[in-house]
Structure 1
Amino acid sequence: MKLIYSIHKYDVTMFTWLNNVAIHASLVRLCRTISRTADGFLYVLVAAWLCWDQGVDDVLLHAMVLAFLIERPVYLLLKKGFKRNRPQQVLQNFCSVVRPADQFSFPSGHTSAAFMVATLLGYFLPDLLPALYLWAALVGFSRVVLGVHFPTDTLMGVVLGVGTAIFSLDYLLL
């Protein structure tokens, strides 16, 4: 219990600092745009392009489908299991920049999906991996700047996304 309290205290400190730093207002517009890239539409476009360009038997397409079939239920189980309230519900006099899609904060689904897709695409297109991971990291950062997640919510999103991608690749390629 002491560990959880320490982590929460760290989260609140980092979150509060980031959302009160002078540059915060300048970051909001950019972060809204970055966050929207992980809303899901981009993933559907990638899958459609893979179907059109490579056909329905493409390994990357199968890995993406399998990864999402695993990641989304695990993500929902964690959300409903931990029931961690979002910053706006926890911190007095704080209002998030965007309205979250659901009540709970842990883990960050945007971050999880972004890292999952970045890992899968990066496996097949290794030259793009640094740029893909930069994009995914910016998605996680944007969720904190927009006030809908604490930093550890996004860290767990990284773990869930990368872990699911690796599992899917191992399952399909072995």
Structure 2
Amino acid sequence: MRTIEPVAKFDLAFSTFCLQHRFNQQVANVSKAISHSGDGHLYIVIGLLAWFFDGLVGQLFLLAGLIAFAIELPIYWFLKNSFKRRGPEELSALLPAFITPSDRYSLPSGHTAAGFLMATLIGAFYPALTEYALLWASLIGVSRILLGVHFFTDVVIGALLGITCANIALSVTSGVS
């Protein structure tokens, strides 16, 4: 356990820096809107719109998304319930949480995983949108920190999980056409 102590200390210091300032309520208001865009509803809409309007490419995009989420969700739940890492609001009474977390544990960030999963797929199927999709996913991750429900490493591991699952799904669907 001593090997993760420096990481835990960094996470707590970073969260303290992000959450203990006089503008934290204003930042949280913006962060709530950004975080809400990563709740999952928008991903369904994007997949269905691609399927409906973009022929075979849209169908493959939707298929890759379904496969990626079918891979990501069980891994996400396994990791959450294995690590059982408490979030910033539980570890320090001084740190505010501006929303109620969507689940009990903080590692990995599911919102970030889903955001980077979608950004990776969007980048693969619609390369002109790559920068926007990655910016959006990054903002979702940052918003989770600024809302006080995740640590920095929760977000990084969530991003890696999402990218990995999207790439697995892309390799599975690469032969389909």
Which residue of the partner structure matches residue 47 of structure 2? 47
Q: Deviations over 1:59-84 (max 9, x none)?
A: 11110000000000000000000000
Which residue of the partner structure matches residue 163 of structure 1? 164
3-state SS of paired residue (2:93): coil
Q: CA deviation at 1:119?
A: 0.5
Q: Which moved more, 1:92-101 or 1:19-28?
A: 19-28
**Runs of 4 or more above 4 Å deviation:** none
Which residue of the partner structure matches residue 21 of structure 1? 21
Q: Deviations over 1:20-73 (max 9, x none)?
A: 134423211111000000001101111221332246881111100000000000
Matches within 5 A, 1:8-157: 8-54=8-54, 58-157=59-158
With the length of structure 1 as denominator, give the TM-score of the two structures: 0.95
Gaps of 5+ in 2: none
Query: Contact conserved, 2:117 with 2:165, CA < 8 A, in 1?
Result: yes
Measured in 2, the distance between the counterparts of 1:156 and 1:83 equals 14
Q: CA deviation at 1:120?
A: 0.1
With the length of structure 2 as denominator, give the TM-score of the two structures: 0.93
Q: Deviations over 1:81-138 (max 9, x none)?
A: 0000111111123330000111100000000000000100111111111111011000
3-state SS of paired residue (1:148): coil
Letter in 2 for 1:127: A
Measured in 2, the distance between the counterparts of 1:94 and 1:148 equals 10
Measured in 2, the distance between the counterparts of 1:89 and 1:141 equals 19
3-state SS of paired residue (1:58): helix
Letter in 2 for 1:53: F
Measured in 2, the distance between the counterparts of 1:38 and 1:27 equals 17
Letter in 1 for 2:96: C
Equivalent pairs: percent with the same residue? 36
Q: Deviations over 1:134-164 (max 9, x none)?
A: 1100000000000000110000011000011
Aligned length: 174
Q: Which moved more, 1:138-147 or 1:120-129?
A: 120-129
